[in-house]
Chain A
Amino acid sequence: MRFEINTNKVNALKAALTLRPDSIAYGDDACAIRCAAAWDQMTDAAIAEASTAGIALYAVTPQLLASTAEVARFAGRAADLVAAGFDGIIVNNLGLLEALRRDRPEVADSARLIAGRRINTYNSGDLSVLARMGFRRATANIELNADGIAALTPPPGLSLSMLGYGPLSLAYSRMCYVMSLKGEVEYDDCGLACEKEGLDLGARDQTPVFRLYGREIQSTRRFCAARALARLNGRVGVLELYLPHRDGLAEVSTALALLRDAAAGTLDAAALADGEAALAAAGRFGLCNGSLFGLPGAAHAMAS
């Protein structure tokens, strides 16, 4: 099992290097503005630091690209990151792959191409198509349960990843929820208001339900896959952990340790429960299993 930390801030990326993951995914798949801002922060020094540590870097690209110009812009910038030392591109819109093949074929041929979580992957037929398109890794959809993931059969040359730890990305929009709350429904020139004004929303009894994060709606609970790893039939090769901010390093470090132990099969039931309790304490957020053991429903999503 390999472990990948996903972040959209360069200082968080540098912090993540200390955890020695196998790879770091850098960028944003839900918001093109956040993605571009993350890429603007990237430095040659950070790339060199990852390279020296033997940690692969992948550029995360957005899904919602609604014009040819926007596709070309992000394909070009992702290709530039590969030219600067990134190892591959996480593609979330097939148009970006098309633009890469057309405009930067040398990058499309040499970079490791990964189908991101926004390429809805629910079955082995999807995996077969993605492999034929040139992808070397694909991401299981968060709605699949453990049995559904275990049933997936990746073709030779294609590995499978899934969310290991982090908030569930439940939806995203072209409209920015945070800017909209500020009375600004236009979606550009936001100054990344999502960073400052992210808002947890709850039911009438104040039980947290969602978090508005810019254009994205996330779960307030943190998803953790540790409890399901033994049931995945060895299908998953990469677990993704989300590090939203450098301050979350201790939380992700705890999650990484738990997932490593769970993947190695060294945890009995009591140790797993202890590990989850430690993680919940480190993260300040409750944990959830998402859809791994069936669709969660309100009771699971909101249980305190």
Chain B
Amino acid sequence: MKILAPARNAEAVSALFAAGAESCYIGLRRHNARTQSTQQDLNVSVAELEDLAPRWQAEGRELFITLNGFPTDAGLAEARNELSAAAALPIAGLIVANLGMLDVVRGLNATVPVKLSIQSGACNPDEILALDRWFTLSGVTLPRFIRLEEVAEMRRLLPERIEIEVLGHGLICPNAEGQCFLGSYLLNSSANLGGIGAPESLAGDTAALAVIFDLLMDNPPEVLEQGIMNIHPCQGLFHGTTRRGDGRTVRLHEHLKVASLDLIPALMASGVGRLKIEGRQHPVPRVASMVAAYRHAVDAAIAEGAAPQGFMPDPADREALSRFEMYRDNLTDNHFFHNPLACRDVTEEAAP
């Protein structure tokens, strides 16, 4: 099982390879789900990769370019030249979510490997096979809500050339990928259209901030100090109102992060070929530390011939993951066995 690390830019790619990742994914300046980030050093141009990609390939490293947005007609037309240039690079593949984008990529380049993005929401073998017949896939990143037994079914039914990837570490989310419009409805920021709901991008909009942080019931300076990259309305507290009128306060979902160190042998046994770590916006040292922890754990599981159940990773690796998380004790399994998230009535906890 290979590790796929999130690279904020070309410099990060080298650092993450050095930390133990076999593969990295990176975004171009447009056409991906982080294009509207206000972080200046996020994403790269194709030109920046022209010298580096051959070097990494020669070193046996794998670079994926993520094009996981859902462009409108104008965006799709603009993307053609950049897609063509990206597909011609010596890379491990493109990560694509949108049907129109898949069609353009295949029209431009019949041989570049293409992996379905987690944003595509493809969630069963029939769906992946259908898309494979049209676009010839090299892999798929499964949605977060997939159970481990369903991963195993995918592995049984999909051709071996379609690699299965799951989210190993990152923000857990209760909603179906590519189908959540909460951000665009409330924050003028659509994930599918490249928006990210960054707190700093709302800094000048006091009315929006007042509403949003009232919803989130958090203190903005504290939130920012904790390093929140994006505002997700689903992480807020909300009041039950008209239908029941009983003043309940509801947390839509828990502040949790997926961490799958303990599950590495089980994931491998289920046929997972690549473990994705999320967080292209995070600082490079933080991501490198996570990559190193997963590298160590994967190598240990392989060396031990660990059984799917009962694997005990090095406590130092788990500590390395917790060190950088906002909610230190809130690392959880993915949805691999059950729904880890609960929409909860927190009326008593939230009471002043």
Residues of A bordering B, CB below 8 Å: 63-68, 70-71, 93-99, 102, 118-130, 132-133, 141-144, 148, 151-153, 168-175, 177, 180-181, 185-187, 198-206, 208-212, 217, 219, 290-291, 294-299, 301-302
Given contacts A70-B124, A172-B175, A204-B239, A143 and B184 within 8 Å (CB-CB): yes
Q: Which 6 A-B pairs have the closest CB atoms?
A: A125-B100, A95-B127, A95-B126, A201-B238, A202-B241, A180-B343
Distance between Cα atoms of A143 and B345 in the complex (Å): 31
User: What B residues does A170 contact at CB under 8 A?
Assistant: 180-182, 185
Distance between Cα atoms of A142 and B101 in the complex (Å): 19
Determine if A168 and B342 form an interchain contact, defined as CB atoms under 8 angstroms apart.
Answer: no
- Interface: B58 (CB within 8 A): no
Distance between Cα atoms of A127 and B99 in the complex (Å): 9
Determine if B178 and A205 form an interchain contact, defined as CB atoms under 8 angstroms apart.
Answer: no
Distance between Cα atoms of A199 and B239 in the complex (Å): 10
Given contacts A143-B181, A202-B239, A299-B207, A68 and B157 within 8 Å (CB-CB): yes
Q: Which of B101, B124, B130, B147 has the most CB of A within 10 A?
A: B124
**Which chain B residues numbered 193 to 233 have a C-beta less than 8 Å away from chain A?**
193, 195, 207-208, 211-212, 214-215, 217
- 15 chain-A/chain-B pairs, Cβ below 8 angstroms: A64-B145, A70-B124, A71-B127, A125-B73, A128-B100, A144-B72, A148-B73, A168-B185, A171-B234, A173-B175, A180-B343, A201-B239, A297-B186, A298-B187, A299-B211
Encode B318-339 as 1/0 by CB contact (under 8 A) with A. Answer: 0000000000000000010011
Cβ-defined partner of A93 (8 Å) among B102, B127, B129, B185: B127
Cβ-defined partner of B175 (8 Å) among A95, A119, A217, A297: A217
Cβ-defined partner of B186 (8 Å) among A198, A204, A205, A301: A301
- Interface: B286 (CB within 8 A): no
Given contacts A94-B131, A125-B76, A203 and B211 within 8 Å (CB-CB): yes
Please name 12 further chain A to chain B contacts, defined as beta carbons within 8 Å, in addition to the given A66-B123, A171-B175, sorted by A numbering. A125-B103, A130-B99, A142-B181, A148-B72, A153-B73, A173-B175, A198-B243, A199-B248, A201-B238, A211-B243, A219-B185, A291-B184
User: What A residues does B71 contact at CB under 8 A?
Assistant: 122-123
User: What A residues does B157 contact at CB under 8 A?
Assistant: 68
Cβ-defined partner of B239 (8 Å) among A95, A171, A206, A290: A206
- Interface: B240 (CB within 8 A): yes
Instruction: Name the distance in Å between A70's Cβ and chain B's nearest Cβ.
Output: 7
Given contacts A201-B238, A298-B208, A65 and B124 within 8 Å (CB-CB): yes
Determine if A208 and B241 form an interchain contact, defined as CB atoms under 8 angstroms apart.
Answer: yes
Q: Which of B99, B178, B190 has the most CB of A within 10 A?
A: B99
- Give the secondary structure class of A's interface: mixed
Distance between Cα atoms of A115 and B186 in the complex (Å): 27
Instruction: Name the distance in Å between B227's Cβ and chain A's nearest Cβ.
Output: 23
- Interface: B15 (CB within 8 A): no
Instruction: Name the distance in Å between A10's Cβ and chain B's nearest Cβ.
Output: 24
Instruction: State the interface size on chain B (CB cutoff 8 A).
Output: 77
Determine if B98 and A120 form an interchain contact, defined as CB atoms under 8 angstroms apart.
Answer: yes
User: What B residues does A126 contact at CB under 8 A?
Assistant: 98-100
Distance between Cα atoms of A296 and B211 in the complex (Å): 14
Determine if A297 and B179 form an interchain contact, defined as CB atoms under 8 angstroms apart.
Answer: no
Cβ-defined partner of A171 (8 Å) among B100, B146, B182: B182
- Interface: B40 (CB within 8 A): no
Instruction: Name the distance in Å between B151's Cβ and chain A's nearest Cβ.
Output: 10
Determine if B250 and A173 form an interchain contact, defined as CB atoms under 8 angstroms apart.
Answer: no
- Interface: B161 (CB within 8 A): no
Closest residue of chain B to A144, judged by CB?
B72
Determine if B343 and A177 form an interchain contact, defined as CB atoms under 8 angstroms apart.
Answer: yes
User: What B residues does A298 contact at CB under 8 A?
Assistant: 186-187, 207-208, 211-212, 215
**Which chain B residues numbered 225 to 269 have a C-beta less than 8 Å away from chain A?**
234, 238-244, 248, 250, 252
Distance between Cα atoms of A94 and B99 in the complex (Å): 11
Determine if B182 and A123 form an interchain contact, defined as CB atoms under 8 angstroms apart.
Answer: no
- Interface: B70 (CB within 8 A): yes
- Interface: B303 (CB within 8 A): no
- Interface: B176 (CB within 8 A): yes
User: What A residues does B189 contact at CB under 8 A?
Assistant: 295
Closest residue of chain B to A150, judged by CB?
B73
Given contacts A70-B124, A143-B184, A173 and B98 within 8 Å (CB-CB): no
Determine if A67 and B100 form an interchain contact, defined as CB atoms under 8 angstroms apart.
Answer: no
Distance between Cα atoms of A126 and B71 in the complex (Å): 10
Closest residue of chain B to A72, judged by CB?
B126
Closest residue of chain B to A285, judged by CB?
B242
Instruction: Name the distance in Å between A141's Cβ and chain B's nearest Cβ.
Output: 7
Determine if A124 and B73 form an interchain contact, defined as CB atoms under 8 angstroms apart.
Answer: yes
Distance between Cα atoms of A250 and B312 in the complex (Å): 61
Given contacts A67-B150, A173-B176, A120 and B70 within 8 Å (CB-CB): yes
Closest residue of chain A to B125, judged by CB?
A68
Instruction: Name the distance in Å between A58's Cβ and chain B's nearest Cβ.
Output: 20
User: What A residues does B150 contact at CB under 8 A?
Assistant: 66-67
Distance between Cα atoms of A114 and B147 in the complex (Å): 29
Given contacts A200-B243, A201-B240, A120 and B178 within 8 Å (CB-CB): yes
User: What B residues does A71 contact at CB under 8 A?
Assistant: 124, 126-127
